[in-house]
Structure 1
C-alpha cells in the first residue's frame, strides 16, 4: 500500500471520528503545512481564510507551543477575535486539538463535533490517528536526478513533449518520472509535487 493510499484511508477514519469536521496541517514548515486538508463547513473554512484567522487561532498557538491532545475548552490562551464563539456559529461547538512532531516540522489537527465534548477514549483514538498521519507523511528529502530534471522542465513551462525532447527520453518515460516524483513527495498533481520540491529546496 502506498503512503498516499494510506493517507487517504487515515483521513477517512478521521472524518468518521470528527462528526463536525476536521482541519489538518501536517509537517508545518515556514508557517505552511506540507499536507493540509479540512472538512469543516465550507462557509467556516472560507470565513476563516478571508480573515486570516490561522495567524490568530488559539488552537494553532497552543499546537505550536505544546505537544499532545487537549479539548478546545481546556486551552487557556487569549482569544481576542472570539474564534471559539464564531466557530460555534458554524456548528463547531466542541473540539479537540492534537499536536505532534518537532517544532520545525509540527503537525496540528483540530477535530470538532456539534453535540458534546469528545470522550477520553475518542481523544485517544484521534491522537493515534494524527500521530500515524504525521509519521507516514514525513516528506522525502531526496529525489533522483532524473525526477528533479523532469520536474524542473515542467516547472519551467515545458509541455510533456518538449520536456521529453529536451531530456532525450520518450514522453512515456517522462510521465513515469513525474509519477514517481509525485508518489515520493506524496503529491496528488505534478504542480503540487513541484511546490513541495521547492519547499524542501530540491528545485
Structure 2
C-alpha cells in the first residue's frame, strides 16, 4: 500500500541549515530524477525540531498535512523514526488510523521510498515519491548509495583524546614503537595496542599506517614550526 510522508512545520534551529543544503545539493539531482511528484528531506530531527527541512510535495497536501498534524500518525514517518536503511513505502506495515495513505494519493504520492539513518544522536530522513510506478531495484540501490553518502557527511568528525593524540604523535613524528610508547606512559603493551585499535576504529582505518596518513592529511597535530 502506498504511503504518504511528513511535511511538518516544526521549528528549525537554523544553525547549520545553509551548510546542510549545500551538502544535499550533491545528491538532489539524483533524487529529482526519481521523485517525479516530490521529495522531503529532514535533517537531525528531534522532539524540539530539526536543523534543516525541504519539501517539494504539492502545496495543498502540505497545508492539509500540517493543519491536521498528520505526522503524528504517518506510517512512513513512524517507520523512519524507528529504523535505519531504505524501504519502499509499499513494504511498510504500520497502522494508518487517519487514512493518510489514501488521502496522499490525490496529490501524486502513490509510490515511493523512505531512507533513514541515525546522524549522531538524532535522525535524518529522505522520502521520495512518484505517481506512476514503484522504484526499481537499480533506483533503490542508487538512491541508497547517494543518500547514505549524504547522511555520512552529517556525522561529526571523529576526535581523539589528549592522551590518544599524544600517543599517535609520538608514533608518527618521533617514530616510537608500541613498546616505547608503553614505557613512556607506564602502560602495558596490550593497553597501548588497544588504544591504537580504538583510534583506528574511530577513523575507520584498517591499519595504523592509514591512520597516520589521515592524521597528517587532517593536520591533527597542528602546524609544525619551521
TM-score when scaled to structure 2?
A: 0.56
**2: distance between equivalents of 1:139 and 1:107?**
14
The corresponding residue for 1:41 is 58
Q: Structure 1 residues 88 and 3 mapped into 2: Cα distance closer, same or farther (>3 Å)?
A: closer
Q: Any residues of structure 2 matched to 1:143-182 within 5 Å, and which?
A: none
| 1:27 corresponds to 2:44 | yes
The 1:31/1:114 distance shift into structure 2, 3 A limit, reads farther
For 2:35 and 2:28, how far apart are their aligned partners in 1? 10
Count of aligned pairs between the two proteins: 139
Q: Larger % of helix: which?
A: 1
Deviation of 1:19 (Å) = 0.9
Q: Name the SS of the counterpart of 1:77 in structure 2.
A: coil
1:107-142: CA deviations, max 9, x gaps? 1211101000111111112222222222223479xx
Q: CA deviation at 1:85?
A: 0.5
Superposed CA RMSD: 2.1
Kindly report which structure 2 residues correspond to 1:14-93, keeping only aligned pairs within 5 A, or say none.
14-93=31-110
C-alpha displacement of 1:9? 3.1
- The Cα shift of 1:83 comes to 1.1
Q: Contact 2:119 / 2:154 at 8 angstroms: preserved in 1?
A: no
Q: TM-score, normalised by structure 1?
A: 0.62
Shift of 1:68: 1.1
Is 2:114 the counterpart of 1:97?
yes
Tell me if structure 2 keeps the 8 A contact 1:27–1:35: yes
Q: Which runs of 5+ in 2 are unaligned?
A: 1-18, 158-226
**Alignment partner of 2:148 out of 123, 131, 134:** 131
**Aligned-partner Cα distance in 1 for 2:59–2:156:** 28
Bigger radius of gyration: 2
- Taking the TM superposition and a 5 Å limit, the aligned residue runs for 1:99-114 are 99-101=116-118, 104-114=121-131
Is the CA contact 2:34–2:130 (under 8 Å) kept in the aligned structure 1? no
Query: Quick one: distance in 2 between partners of 1:139 and 1:103?
Result: 7
Q: Provide the C-alpha distance between the structure 1 equivalents of 2:76 and 2:120, rounded to a whole number of angstroms.
A: 15
CA–CA separation in structure 1 for the residues paired with 2:115 and 2:59: 22
Where 1:100 maps in the other structure, the secondary structure is strand
Q: 1:71 to 1:4 in 2, by over 3 A?
A: closer
Helix, strand or coil at the partner of 2:94: coil
